[in-house]
Structure 1
Amino acid sequence: MNSEKKLAGKVTLEAVCGDIASQHGIDAVVNAANAQLMPGGGVAGAIHRAAGPGLAEECRSMAPIEPGQAVISGAHHLPNSFVIHCLGPVYGKDKPESRLLADCYRNALLLAEKNKITSVAFPAISAGIFGYPFEEAAEVSLHTIFKIVPDLKYVRHIRFVLFGVENFKKYAAKLREIE
């Protein structure tokens, strides 16, 4: 597995190339959800397929959510305990994109803290079918995480799961650069 790690205070940040629905040893995975929290394409489709139909059933009462919002559910058949669902902004439509994207990461980590979760895996929220330019999305996510890390009491491991070797390489480079 391609991997890049960096310590930020007491939190290990890690970028890996892989499948968000196969993150063993991680307490919670983040779903780049749609507003209705239902199966779809990309990350949401992969997570719902792996979790099974119980995930959609549990999520029904929590929907709809707004861009930047996060909600939490059980993980069902995933190898994790929780799924944190975030609705990222559609690039060029939901404004201001950078604030809404930052809200996704911040709100997901606040939910993790509230639930005493120690490890969280994120996909590249909004960087797929929602059209957010990948490198810009990577910068927003990392800057947001670095700002919130000093306030985290429970979360000690944040993994960024990138689909495809090229996206992994770009994200790993951004992770190496950030202070």
Structure 2
Amino acid sequence: MVKKIAERPSNAGAEKRGRLKRAVAGVAPQIAHALGGPLAGAAVGALSRAIFGIDDADEAMLADVLEGANPKEREALMRAEHEFRLALRQANLIEQEIAAGDRANARDRQVKMDDLTPSILGGLIIGGFFVVLAAMVTRRLPAGAETEFSIMLGALATMTAAVVNYFFGSSVGSREKTRMMSPVSMPDSAARLEPVEDV
């Protein structure tokens, strides 16, 4: 009985969150997606600022408004979606820049200290990856060893990608950075909108 009572607030919160998510999904899909994950608080804050001009409006109140949203409120929601996407892109860009800086510092240290350790370790990792891959392709593995070899190959594949990224940079990261720096389109009417009042 105590356990059931303790679970009720959590279930009620999940129901409110789910209702709010459904209310915004059609107009603000990125915010709706964030409402189901670790960025839920930021998503609720974005909605609250767009609709009420405050940071911490009740989720049930937001759902009430957005389920019957008028055109002005829908445009406010579109603006919140745009700003939320932009904030995510900026955060991802900062993360990419930090990671790139870490790699550059590590390579610079290797050059200055004439340290062969990264090169030797990288060669061993890449060699190990291809040895395990060749063994799995050309030889019949012992019964019951398939899982262990698959885990080993997956780990070596991840480390091989890290080695290539360390020495040659990441084309995937460059493409992602270019994508994040591209402008996010937003309707003109939403761009001019102020927070909704008197709801």
TM-score, normalised to structure 1, is 0.22
Q: Which has the larger radius of gyration?
A: 2
Query: With structure 2 as the length reference, what TM-score do the two structures score?
Result: 0.20
